A = this chain, B = another copy of it.
Amino acid sequence: MRPLGAQAELLRVLGHPVRLQILEELTKGVKCVSDLEEFLEIPQSNVSQHLSLLRRYGLIDYYMDGRLRCYYLVDPIIPDLLHVLKRDYPEQLPPPACCPVTKKGRYPGKRRH
């Protein structure tokens, strides 16, 4: 299991709409920068910046194919995380059972919002 700091870092890196879309695309297959540029409709330099960030954190890598840089997924947790994100969930978890006791609290009754 990766250490806590690395878990948080991973989520922070994923927590950007452009990077999420890039990773989603890469789960479908290898893509070069200009594929992604066209798909994302943002400036090429910005695409490159996001790709370079994703690579710095070890989530993706690339190989050269002619003059194209072909990016692909490297971190196996990505597809699983994306899958969970796309699942449908009931609105809310059921509220905790009546009067659970926290470590500190022993207060009876008078429970309200």
Contacts and interface: CB of A to CB of B under 8 A. Distances in A.
Interface of A: 1-2, 4-5, 7-17, 19-21, 29-32, 34-35, 38, 63-68, 70, 72-77, 80-81, 84-90, 92-93, 95-96, 99-100, 102-105, 107-108, 110-113
A80 to B, nearest CB: 5
Nearest to A107: B66
B31 A8 contact: no
Given A74-B93, A112-B64, A8 B20 contact: yes
Contact of A29 (B16, B67, B99, B100): B100
B107 A68 contact: yes
A105 B1 contact: no
Nearest to A66: B107
B84 A32 contact: no
Contact of A30 (B67, B81, B96): B96
